[in-house]
Structure 1
Amino acid sequence: MTKAIIGISSFKETAGELHALAAAMDSGKELAPADYRLNFATAAQLFAELTPKRMELLDTLKRTGPQSVYRLAKTLGRNYSNVHSSVARLIELGLIAKDEENNVLVPWDDIEIHIALSGSKAA
């Protein structure tokens, strides 16, 4: 099963994970198939990129399968140019892909969003 895991991670945390992965590879360890990871520096950045409209688009595309951007816009009942812009950004982020017929699709079996809010104290 292929998964896209979206989360919040500082550069320091991401660098540490990549260093550990490189060390495992250098030691000859066989690595398990990797999930696709997309990390943002802050929750605000994550929510600026994955807006409610883009999340609805991803959900609809996942449920309805590969299709043209035009058809997707019709399915969503949204303006073509807005859907096209969102699709282009989601392709840049690696959450959507295009097939041989130039249809867009979600290439992941699952998409998970992990957000941990810690360090806050109750009043």
Structure 2
Amino acid sequence: MMAQRLYEAGYITYMRTDSTNLSQDAVNMVRGYISDNFGKKYLPESPNQYASKENSQEAHEAIRPSDVNVMAESLKDMEADAQKLYQLIWRQFVACQMTPAKYDSTTLTVGAGDFRLKARGRIFAL
């Protein structure tokens, strides 16, 4: 019901969809936001596109914020959980058009007798 209230208030697009498609206006809006707020380093040369699932219905656009410039904190008329849901939708929408994250990976192998233990980890590369 929170998503329904966000939709009815005009904060998100129609939420009963499994589509990954974004309108060209939405792509342009989020790419402009990324460029202005994060810099060209985080903006791929061309928009990221995602394949739809085999049986998905393409009647609606993907769930996204109606306006990328509206932050969750500004949704004063919504309850805290609705603001958190909006924040999740907003972050995923922005992230879907950013360059992939880069990581530094480490592998550690320790041997003891006949046993080998291996641990792997990764952190964001700065």
Would you call these one fold, judging by a TM-score over 0.5? no
Counting helix residues as a fraction of each chain, which structure ranks higher?
1
Greater RCO (Cα-Cα under 8 Å, separation 6 or more): 1
Give the TM-score of the pair, scaled to structure 2: 0.28
Give the TM-score of the pair, scaled to structure 1: 0.29
